[in-house]
Amino acid sequence: MTAPECDPTPDHDVDWSTKRSDARRNHERVVAAAVEVFAEHGIEATIPQVAARAGVGKATVYRSFPTKDALVQAVAQYQRAWFYRRGLAAQEQLNSGGDPLAILRDLLAETVERLANDRALAEALPETAKPSPAGEESLESIILAGQRQGVIREDVTARHVRVLLGGVAGSLFRQQERDPEQWRIYGELIFNAVKKA
């Protein structure tokens, strides 16, 4: 099992740099296992399921995360890290003179691909509909750049795109749709809805 990449936002509750190396390793294993288990089963997955996947006892999970909600928040932090990194990459492409329409299309395609394989993320998206400050700013920048070029509708905002993604994610998971191809079709429909005809 591979530990997830660290979120650029620090965990303010615990300073893991001061903990023993084995405690840090267990913490990382628990987070990595939780990401996998919640992706497969959603946030109704249990602490025993996470502990079994991590290869540790329930007590080890509870030493890192005293409640299930704390563990869910750690997984959400990991998910925000993906949006943060993806947002920075999109912003770099835009700053380098990339085509905003192509950047938006790629961003939507990668996001729906991730949602198709991550039940917890898809369940949470309709409620939060907000990835991260970097993801938020880059999406807004892409839309504004596309509007300046006349290729994205003038009445579209980043919020519209997030709401559409959240609605698609919630609906497809309620229908238990796991086929990535179907998710890609909906991503393309969102893209076609916001680009200028």
Average pLDDT score, the chain: 82
Q: Which residues contact 165 (CB under 8 A, 6 or more apart)?
A: 108, 111, 112, 115, 125, 129, 190
Domains of the chain: 17-66 (1.10.10.60), 79-194 (1.10.357.10)
- Average pLDDT for residues 92-119, to the nearest whole number? 90
Instruction: Check residue 75 and give its pLDDT.
Output: 85
Instruction: Check residue 16 and give its pLDDT.
Output: 43
Structure tokens at 160: 């519209």
Instruction: Check residue 103 and give its pLDDT.
Output: 96
Instruction: Check residue 160 and give its pLDDT.
Output: 93
pLDDT-based confidence at residue 172 (cuts at 50, 70, 90): confident
State pTM to two decimals. 0.73
